[in-house]
A and B are shown apart, each in its own frame.
Chain A
Amino acid sequence: MITFLCDSSFEGLLTAVYFAHREDPPRRVVSGASFQTSIGETLVPVETDYELYGKMESYISSRCGVDCLMAMYRAYLSGLPGIEDAVFRFFRVALVKKEETPYMHLHPDVAPVLEAQRTVSRESHKMLGFIRFRRIAENLLYAAYSPTANVTPLVAPHFADRMNSYSWIIHDVTRDIFAVYNGKECVIGHSVPGRLPPVADIDADYEDLWRAYFDHVAIAERRNLRLQMSLMPKKYWKYLTEKQTV
Chain B
Amino acid sequence: MQKLSILADAAKYDVSCASSGVNRGGVRGSLGNSVQGGICHSFTSDGRCISLLKVLYTNYCTYDCAYCINRKSNDVPRASFTPEELCELTYNFYLRNFIEGLFLSSAVIKSPDYTTELMYRTVFLLRSKYKFNGYIHVKAIPGTDPALLERLGAIVDRMSVNIELPSEASLKLLAPDKKKDDIVAPMKLIKNKIIEYKDTARHLRGAPKFVPGGQSTQMIIGASGDTDLRILSLTEAMYRKYDLKRVYFSAYVPVNTHPLLPSVLTAPPMLREHRLYQADFLLRFYEFRADEILNEANPNFSRHIDPKCQWALLHLDQFPIEVNRAPYNKLLRIPGIGQISAKRIIQARRHGSLSLDDLAKLGAVVKRARFFVTCSGRYDPALKFDEQSIFTGLLQASDVPDAQLSFFNASSPVLALREAAI
Cα(A165)–Cα(B25), bound, Å: 14
The answer to whether B26 and A213 touch across the interface, beta carbons within 8 angstroms, is: no
The answer to whether B50 and A217 touch across the interface, beta carbons within 8 angstroms, is: yes
Number of residues from B at the complex interface, CB < 8 A = 56
Which residues of B from 1 to 52 have beta carbons under 8 Å from A? 1, 4-5, 8-9, 11-13, 25-26, 28-33, 35, 37, 39-51
The answer to whether A133 and B95 touch across the interface, beta carbons within 8 angstroms, is: yes
Number of residues from A at the complex interface, CB < 8 A = 55
The answer to whether B46 and A219 touch across the interface, beta carbons within 8 angstroms, is: yes
Is B411 at the interface (CB under 8 A from chain A)? no
Most buried by A among B28, B96, B270: B96
Is B347 at the interface (CB under 8 A from chain A)? yes
Is B329 at the interface (CB under 8 A from chain A)? no
The answer to whether B47 and A231 touch across the interface, beta carbons within 8 angstroms, is: yes
Of A107, A223, A241, which one neighbours B46 at CB under 8 angstroms?
A223
The answer to whether A228 and B47 touch across the interface, beta carbons within 8 angstroms, is: yes
Cα(A164)–Cα(B33), bound, Å: 10
Nearest residue in B to A206 (C-beta to C-beta)?
A: B92
B26 proximity list for chain A (CB < 8 A)? 161-162, 164
A222 proximity list for chain B (CB < 8 A)? 46-48, 251, 253, 268, 270
The answer to whether B43 and A232 touch across the interface, beta carbons within 8 angstroms, is: yes
The answer to whether B361 and A163 touch across the interface, beta carbons within 8 angstroms, is: no
A73 proximity list for chain B (CB < 8 A)? none
Is B356 at the interface (CB under 8 A from chain A)? no
The answer to whether B1 and A224 touch across the interface, beta carbons within 8 angstroms, is: no
Is A129 at the interface (CB under 8 A from chain B)? yes
The answer to whether B31 and A163 touch across the interface, beta carbons within 8 angstroms, is: yes
Of B33, B44, B95, which one neighbours A228 at CB under 8 angstroms?
B44
Cα(A107)–Cα(B351), bound, Å: 9
Cα(A203)–Cα(B91), bound, Å: 13
The answer to whether A105 and B253 touch across the interface, beta carbons within 8 angstroms, is: no
Nearest residue in A to B54 (C-beta to C-beta)?
A: A217
Is A166 at the interface (CB under 8 A from chain B)? yes
Of A105, A107, A134, A213, which one neighbours B344 at CB under 8 angstroms?
A105
B267 proximity list for chain A (CB < 8 A)? 221
The answer to whether B43 and A210 touch across the interface, beta carbons within 8 angstroms, is: no
A111 proximity list for chain B (CB < 8 A)? 361
The answer to whether B30 and A165 touch across the interface, beta carbons within 8 angstroms, is: yes
Cα(A210)–Cα(B44), bound, Å: 12
Which residues of A from 212 to 246 have beta carbons under 8 Å from B? 212-214, 216-228, 231-232, 240-242
Is A141 at the interface (CB under 8 A from chain B)? yes
The answer to whether B350 and A103 touch across the interface, beta carbons within 8 angstroms, is: yes
The answer to whether A105 and B39 touch across the interface, beta carbons within 8 angstroms, is: no
A209 proximity list for chain B (CB < 8 A)? 1, 4, 89, 93
Can you list, as one digit per residue, whether each of B347-363 has a CB less than 8 Å from chain A (1) or not (0)?
A: 11011101000100110
User: Known: A161-B25, A221-B267, A224-B46. Is A105-B97 also a contact (CB below 8 A)?
Assistant: no
Nearest residue in B to A106 (C-beta to C-beta)?
A: B348
The answer to whether A210 and B33 touch across the interface, beta carbons within 8 angstroms, is: no
Cα(A129)–Cα(B40), bound, Å: 5
The answer to whether A210 and B96 touch across the interface, beta carbons within 8 angstroms, is: yes
Is B98 at the interface (CB under 8 A from chain A)? yes
The answer to whether B97 and A131 touch across the interface, beta carbons within 8 angstroms, is: yes
B11 proximity list for chain A (CB < 8 A)? 217
B156 proximity list for chain A (CB < 8 A)? none
Is A104 at the interface (CB under 8 A from chain B)? yes
A135 proximity list for chain B (CB < 8 A)? 95-96
Most buried by B among A166, A219, A231: A219
Is B53 at the interface (CB under 8 A from chain A)? yes
Which residues of A from 141 to 179 have beta carbons under 8 Å from B? 141, 143, 158-159, 161-166
Enumerate 15 A-B pairs (CB-CB under 8 Å) in ascending A order.
A100-B351, A106-B348, A106-B351, A106-B358, A161-B26, A161-B33, A164-B26, A165-B29, A217-B9, A222-B270, A224-B45, A226-B47, A228-B44, A232-B42, A242-B42
Q: Which 4 A-B pairs have the closest CB atoms?
A: A227-B47, A103-B347, A218-B44, A222-B46
User: Knowing that A104-B348, A222-B253 are A-B contacts, what are 16 other residue pairs whose CB atoms are under 8 Å apart, sorted by A's residue number?
Assistant: A107-B351, A111-B361, A130-B42, A135-B95, A162-B31, A165-B29, A206-B89, A210-B96, A213-B8, A217-B50, A219-B13, A219-B46, A221-B268, A222-B46, A231-B43, A232-B42
Which residues from chain B sit less than 8 Å from chain A, CB to CB? 1, 4-5, 8-9, 11-13, 25-26, 28-33, 35, 37, 39-51, 53-54, 89, 92-93, 95-98, 100, 251, 253, 267-268, 270, 344, 347-348, 350-352, 354, 358, 361-362
